[in-house]
A and B are shown apart, each in its own frame.
Chain A
Amino acid sequence: KNQVEQSPQSLIILEGKNCTLQCNYTVSPFSNLRWYKQDTGRGPVSLTIMTFSENTKSNGRYTATLDADTKQSSLHITASQLSDSASYICVVPPGDSNYQLIWGAGTKLIIKP
């Protein structure tokens, strides 16, 4: 069964600190993996997309890693800001569909001043 699991479910850190969010997936066949940021009351916004051949990809203070062998990904946020408070969702589309998306439940990140 295609599944995406994320940990932790929620995380509270102080402003300026770093954090790492985890994603494990069992989606097959694998095509790519995406991280989305969802602010409260808003729709998801894409942060990064990683294909099978990419191990690391950065977008500003966000760095995503992918290990296709262990089917794990992480999202590292450096020098956190208050505006980083949001849910971060790992998404893996099944390789045999170019529009269906398998969504994780997300990690709710709270940045405290």
Chain B
Amino acid sequence: NAGVMQNPRHLVRRRGQEARLRCSPMKGHSHVYWYRQLPEEGLKFMVYLQKENIIDESGMPKERFSAEFPKEGPSILRIQQVVRGDSAAYFCASSPNRGGPDTQYFGPGTRLTVL
């Protein structure tokens, strides 16, 4: 059973471009969470999704950021018109149900660098 998969592992974008980060949850998991980790800081919750539904996006910046988890395929975190401050590691976690945090399994992360 493969773990949570994220791709790409590293992404370089120039200011103004779009970044698309993908997350494939563990098999059987229908809940996905996205976190952002700035250098030297802890992870910050961004959004919680179930298939075709955004449950909680209270941690998402109001502009340029969007997330989806379609019926088929991976969850996508999209950042439009990236700026240097978006440079960070973005982690995805999945869980089989809306249980406690110990049921969240993390992917290896995508490291976004904005030039």
- Give the distance in Å from the alpha carbon of A104 to the alpha carbon of B41 in the complex: 8
Residues on the B chain within 8 Å of A104, using CB: 42
Q: Which of A32, A41, A98, A103 contacts B43 (CB 8 A)?
A: A103
Residues on the A chain within 8 Å of B104, using CB: 99, 101
B42 touches A106 (CB 8 A): yes
* B77 close to A (CB within 8 Å): no
* A89 close to B (CB within 8 Å): yes
Residues on the B chain within 8 Å of A49, using CB: 102
A44 touches B42 (CB 8 A): no
* B109 close to A (CB within 8 Å): yes
Query: Taking chain A's interface residues, is the majority helix, strand, or loop, or is none over half, making it mixed?
Result: loop
Interface residues on A, range: 20 to 34
- Give the distance in Å from the alpha carbon of A46 to the alpha carbon of B103 in the complex: 9
Residues on the B chain within 8 Å of A34, using CB: 101-102
* A79 close to B (CB within 8 Å): no
B contacts, CB < 8 Å to A: 4, 31, 33, 35, 40-45, 48, 56, 91, 93, 95, 98-102, 104, 106-109
